Each structure stands twice: as structure tokens, then as C-alpha cells.
Amino acid sequence: MWRSPVQRTARLAVAHVGARRCITSWSELRERQKSYCDDVAHSLAHQTIIPARLSPADLNALVLRSLDAVQEAVWNAKAKKDDPDSDAKPSKKKKDNSDGDGGDGGDGGGDDDGNGFFDGNTWNLFWAAAFCVIAIPLAWSYTQDTRAPEMETSWQSFKETLLGSDAVDRLVVVNGQYVEIYLAGSPMTLAHWFSVANTEEFEQRLQEAYLMKGISSSRWHTVKYTSRLEPNGVLQNIPTVAYVAVFLVVAEHLYKSRRGGGMGGPGGGQNPFNMTQMKSAQVQKNLKIGFKDVAGQGEAKQEIMEFVSFLQNPERFTRLGAKVPNGAILMGPPGTGKTLLAKAVAGESKVPFLSVCGSDFVEMFVGVGPGRIRSLFKQARKHERCIIYIDEIDAIARPRGNGINTGGNDERENTLNALLVEMDGFEKSQGHVIVLASTNVAPDQLDRALLRPGRFDRQIHIEKPELKERLEIFKLHLSPLSLQSREAMEACERERAEKLKADGIDDIFTVEREDPTEDELKALMPSNVETKNDLLVIHRFAERLAHLSPGFVGADIANVCNEGALITAREKREAVGLDQLEKAMDRVIGGIEKRSRVLSDFEKKVVAYHEAGHAIVGWFLKYADPLMKISIIPRGSAALGYAQYLPKETAISTATQLLDRICVLLGGRVSELIHFGHLSTGASDDLQKVTQIAYSQVSQLSMYPGGGHLSFPLPGQAGAQTQKPYSDEVAALFDDEAKNIVDSAFKRTRDLLEEKADEVKRVAEHLLKHEVITRDDFIKIVGPRPFVEGVGTHPDDDTVYAALQSPVHDPAQKE
């Protein structure tokens, strides 16, 4: 049946495509296919055994027989696997049922148990691949024009050289358009060809040529006529159509495979041809999160707790004529707990919580955003009471009418319009659906129509936590950790206190004060927090860490506690101590230590004197931030040195305080200049900060003589215009005044460091030897700082500890 080389090659090619699925192991694949793979690949690549001409019917029959043979081989292999002792072929009934009801194998394919060789979708892919390997090469071969350009000749040349010659076997007229010349001895080899106008003209000219040359009729060449499908016919489009069909089959297979595990609906997955249907919002019911899980943010909780009352008992307000607010927008820096606060509202209210992201409404297709807004509110209206939470709403809520008329901008505005209508318009949501949203941008960067009363009635600003709030957040995140025992903590404190006393140093954190009682410790803990740790240990650890982390948000604090636990596990310790938590603090602030970064001795010396210059200037200037630690161990991606300061949390800064900050930033650069006589690139980040402070003083804050009390935003900041809103003369004045400020600070810094050159040298040498200097080491080297720092570091200043020991106002406890 499969004796011809063409048929054998076709069968082997198809078998090669499905070999990995037909054969149960790689070893069996090698045994059965190794002798054929090279032959198949060579045959298909060079088309050496595919006949030059096949009729469409023969081509179709060849492909179908090839595929049928491979399918039969698959069934035989499967039957042999199910019953190794049976050599019988599967019955016709089984073959017919192969497309019937399968198990889990696919859509109508596979075995009864769904574990067959091919399921329905796999068979589709197999047939598509087989069609590509067999039908496309054969069709390509069939449609190729075998008339090579170098074989072309002319009628005149043929008449003069080959007409009547015994070397010519026959002439073949193809489609009445050209004549093929086949030579004797090789009847299958095409030697030359030439074009003719039509069959009648060719016959007439050929007969005239015979007569003119006196060639007898017995020597006239045999002439045959044939019709062929030209390459520019139907078959030429078969490869393109086939590849498109394969793509659609694969796309359908992938789409069906996604439907079982997606999030788009009952079947999962998103239909790419139904773009207006967004994936269903995540509906969370019976949330276990409450206000007890939100540490700090007392004012924000107080303001948002009214929404809980609206949802639980709306009649209490409506009977007085009050309207339930439509929603609130939470504004604040990243990591301050906006999403957690929104979940707490839903958890306390015991209502469904529908959460989406602003970017879910943004697509490349027109009309998708508004459709998804309507779909979201339609889903919300199915619940009697619920909360819609839109995270990062600034993705669709930027101000309209900014003069940018791009298609994407128009689509975003249409999405915003749909949201405005749903919240307070003709299509206003009925029932008790409250919309909460969060954003990191300033209110002036959101559309004013969205922020007006009737839509987002309240704007709740969530700022970075202050000292008392950080203390509460640290207690919340330290409670689940396995901390040191009270005895171990007190032993570490005694050891440290004795060492400092021997050195004559007053410890910043051992100001004489009484520890809170057990009842006071419980009152100072966040509400409903259960812990197996000693409350005094939690309080002491949280007190010190809160003091060391100005500017940290809730996410940073959670990260510090988690990193502390990871460092403890890495060091194979049994409990988390303060040392591990302080290491975690250093890692969060400065990045991971890069001890693998190799610096030359000269580079280390430059870095040491640079950091020593910063530290000495800050130590002897009154309004500079207190120093806590210096290190010349590289951290992060670029920092070669690292210094930790303890800034005082103030709401305003004076010109004198800003000048001291500039001097501290210039300290490293001036120290390099004094001790090495040249400058380096190590101060690049310092100079950027100096430039920003100086230009802010003159352009935004008008802190210079004759400033005129005008304020202009810096280029690149929010509110800055494309064109400067001031003249070139004013810009030149800004440049001059900023330069004067920096020059004055530079001179002041140089005078101080020249006076304290010995102290700089001692600090730098200690850094080169030990790589790290703590505050205690610095006091031993340089002496105590001669200022009341306002952060609890001086015996005359204990306001910080009084604030730490006062209970935090929590409206949730009052309720």
C-alpha cells in the first residue's frame, strides 16, 4: 500500500509531527524514528522525491491517505499500550467512537477516563501541524514554476539548433502559452522552453519551419498538449490560508484552556472579542479586617467611621433628612494604609467589598472604559449595600480639557464622564452603594468635578505617621514575632549601660524614667492585639525603633519587622533581638550591604574622609540633624558610604535651619578638598540636594533680600508651566541668589572643617579601621554634642518620652 517513495515520505513526515504524542517514551521515539527523521527532513527540504506534477485530485488523495495512516498507527499504539498482549487492530466501532463523549480529555476526544493519547483540542493541533508539514510543502512544490530562467530560449534559436534534431524527444505545449523541450534519453528532464502566442500560431510556424528546412515528416517531433494550474492560481494561496487556519485553531485552543482558570466569569478567561466586559471585580464578603487592624491614623479613622454607621443604620440619618454620602477619596503617600482602611470600613460594616484598580478601565479599544464603569456599578447594584473601592483612581481622574487631544486622552475622559454620571447624574446609583477611592497624587491633579460634594463628598488625607503613631504601628507588627525574653533584653541593656558608663557617655535611650506598669502597657498596646511576647519587651523595642524611623510609613515598618525576623533566621538565632531589628532598619534605609564591591585603599580613604566631613559639620552646627551612625560599607546600587541621622519632626523650617542643612551636605566635598587637595565624583548626590534647597529658597520661598514675596514652582515639579512665568532678568536673579547662598554655606563649612581638621582625621581613621561608627563611638572620639537637640538626646529635653508614654487616641476604642 505504501510502496511508492512519495507516499512513504508523506506518511513518515506526518508521523514525525505526532511522534512525541504517539509514542510513550523518548527511547521508543528514538528506536522507531531515528532512521527516518533525517530522510524525512531531507526529502521535504529539497523536494527530491516529490513528483514534478500531480493533479489536484492525486494531491488531495495523497494527503488524506497519509493522515489516515498515521491516525491508524496512533490507534494501534494506544491499543497496544492498553493491552500489550494484544496485536489486534482497534475495531471500526472504537474508531468511530473516538470522537464521541470523552472524559476530561477535551471537547469530544480522548478516552473514557480522559487520559488518552490525544484529547479533542490536541487532535486539532495535531491535524493542523500535520497539514502544515505535508499539504503545504506538497502544494508549494506543485505550484512552483519549474521553468528556470536559464532554460528559456527563443523560437528562432530552437528552429536553428534543435528543430529536426534527434536529440529532441518531444515538445509539450502547456496551456497554449509556452512550449517545453524534452531531450531524448531523459524524458523526464526539461531542457529548454520558449513562449508562444497561441497553439494555432505555433502549429503553423512549426509546420512552415519543417517545410522550409526540408525535414521529412518521419523526423517531425512528437507534440503533446497539456493543461496545468499555474503558480498564480488557487493553489498558490494554500500556504497562507493554511497558516491562518492553524493560527485560529491554536488561538481557540489557548482560549478554551484559559477558561477553566481565569477570573472573567463562570467559565473564566476573557473573550478577546468582547472587550467591553471587564473581569469581574473582586467581591469579598465577611471581611475579618476591622479598625483594630489599622494602627495609628486616629483622625482618618474618626472621619471614615461615619460610613460604617451609614451602612449599618442608614435610617438613623435619613429620618433627620440627611443624605448618605456617595463616597470618600483617600489621599496620601504610598504605604500609609489607604487600602487597609477601606477594607476596615467594609469589615466593620459587614457588607460586600468590590475592589478594582483604576488601570482596569484603560484599554486600547474605544469605549471599553465607560462600558466597564457601567458594568462595575451594575454588579454593585445587585447587592443591597456594598462598598466599591477603586485603587489608584488617578489613572482615569486626571483633569479634563488640558489641551491634549489624543485618542487615548479622549477615551480616558469618556471613562471619567461615565464615572461622574454613575456617582451623581441621570444614572445615579440607587441604594446604599458607597464609593471609596485612593490616590497618591495631590488634589489639584484630579478633576474638580470628581471631588465636588455629591460625588466624593469627603477628602480624607492620610499623612505619614508621627512618633506616637509609629510606636503603635511597631507594636502591632512586633506582636506576632518571637522576641527576646524580658531577662535577655535587660541583660543586653545592662551590658550596654555599663560599657557606656565606663566610657563616660550618656545614653540617648537610658534617661531615668519609670517603666509603665502592666496595666499601662496593656492600655498602650493597640486594641485587640494578642501576643505571646512580654509587653514590656514590645514596648521597649517599639519605643527605640519608632524613635529611629522618622518618615517611615506603615509599609516600611512592616518591612523592617519582617526583615528583622529574616535576619534572625539567617543568623540561626532563637528569638528576634533589637540588634537584628536595627540591622533591618539599616537595610531598609540604605539598602543591602555590598561587601563584595572591592574598593581600592585610596577610594576607601576618600570615602572615609567624605563621611567624616559630613558627620563633623552636623555635630557642631546647632540646627543640623543628630548623627546616629556612619558606615563606609557600600550599600544599595550606588552609595559608597552611609550615614544615618535622626531628624526632628517639625512642620516648618527657618532660613538658618536650611543653611545648616546645606552646610552638612557640603561637608563631604569640603573635607575631600582640604585633606586631598582635589574633588571627586562622590558628592554628586549631595550637590543635587544642595541645588534643590537653594533654588527652593529663592524661587518658591523668596528667602533672599528683595525677593518680592513671589513664589514660582521649580521646573519639573507639579504646577510648573512649560514656559517660565517670569522674565530672563528674574531667572538671572534666581541664579545669582542661589549661588550666593551656596557660596556662603561653602565658606562657612570650610572654616569649620579647617578648625576641626584633627577631629575629622580621627573619625576617618576609626572608619578605615572599623568601617562603622555608632553614636556612642562618635561621642568617645569627638566629645558630646553641645546642643539641646530636641529629640530626647539631652538631659534637659524629655518631651519625647512624655509623648511616647501618653496613650494614643483611638476612636475605635471609644466606639
Longest dimension (CA), the chain: 136
546 within 8 A of 474, measured Cβ to Cβ: yes
Would you say residue 540 has pLDDT above 50? Answer: yes
Which residues share a beta bridge with 483? 576
Residue 93: Cβ within 10 Å count: 7
At a CB cut-off of 8 Å and minimum separation 6, what does 747 contact?
none
Report the range of poorest mean pLDDT among 388-397, 511-520, 621-630, 696-705.
511-520
> Kindly report the CA angle at 217 between 214 and 222, in degrees rounded to 5?
120
Q: What is the pLDDT of residues 677-711, one digit of tens each?
A: 998 888 888 999 999 999 999 998 988 887 778 88
For every residue of 132-156, DSSP letters joined together read: HHHHHHHHHHHHS----GGGB--HH
Q: What is the pLDDT of residues 339-367, one digit of tens each?
A: 889 888 888 888 888 888 888 887 666 66
Q: What is the pLDDT of residues 235-287, one digit of tens each?
A: 556 666 666 777 777 766 665 555 444 434 434 444 444 444 555 566 777 77
203 within 8 A of 155, measured Cβ to Cβ: no
Mean pLDDT across the chain:
74
For residues 377 and 389, give the distance between their C-alpha atoms in angstroms, rounded to a whole number.
Answer: 11
Between residues 224 and 740, the one the model is more confident about: 740
Helix, strand, coil shares of the chain as percentages rounded to 5?
55, 10, 40
Q: Which residues are catalytic?
A: 611
State the pLDDT at residue 79: 58
- Please tell me the pTM assigned to this model: 0.62
Q: What letter would DSSP give residue 219? A: G
Residue 310 corresponds to which amino acid?
Answer: F
State the pLDDT at residue 673: 94
For every residue of 357-378, DSSP letters joined together read: EGGGG--SSTTHHHHHHHHHHH
pLDDT band at 794 (very low <50, low <70, confident <90, very high): very low
For residues 8 and 574, give the distance between their C-alpha atoms in angstroms, rounded to a whole number.
Answer: 72
Q: What is the pLDDT of residues 455-509, one digit of tens each?
A: 888 889 998 998 888 988 999 899 889 998 888 888 887 777 777 666 665 555 4
Which residues share a beta bridge with 190? 182
Between residues 52 and 521, the one the model is more confident about: 521
613 within 8 A of 626, measured Cβ to Cβ: no
Q: What is the pLDDT of residues 741-775, one digit of tens each?
A: 999 999 999 999 999 999 999 999 999 998 889 88
pLDDT band at 784 (very low <50, low <70, confident <90, very high): confident
From the list 82, 106, 107, 85, the residue with the least C-alpha distance to 94 is 82
State the pLDDT at residue 616: 94
Cell numbers placing 593:
550591604
Residue 149 corresponds to which amino acid?
Answer: P
Q: What is the pLDDT of residues 183-212, one digit of tens each?
A: 876 555 677 788 888 888 888 888 888 888
CA-to-CA separations, 667 to 161, 283, 589, 605, 681, in angstroms, rounded: 99, 55, 21, 15, 14
For residues 676 and 710, give the distance between their C-alpha atoms in angstroms, rounded to a whole number.
Answer: 42
Strand ranges in 679-786 using DSSP code E only, listed in sequence order:
772-774
Domains for the chain: give ranges and CATH numbers.
Answer: 5-143 (no CATH), 149-229 (3.40.1690.20), 282-461 (3.40.50.300), 467-590 (1.10.8.60), 601-794 (1.20.58.760)
Q: What letter would DSSP give residue 292? A: G
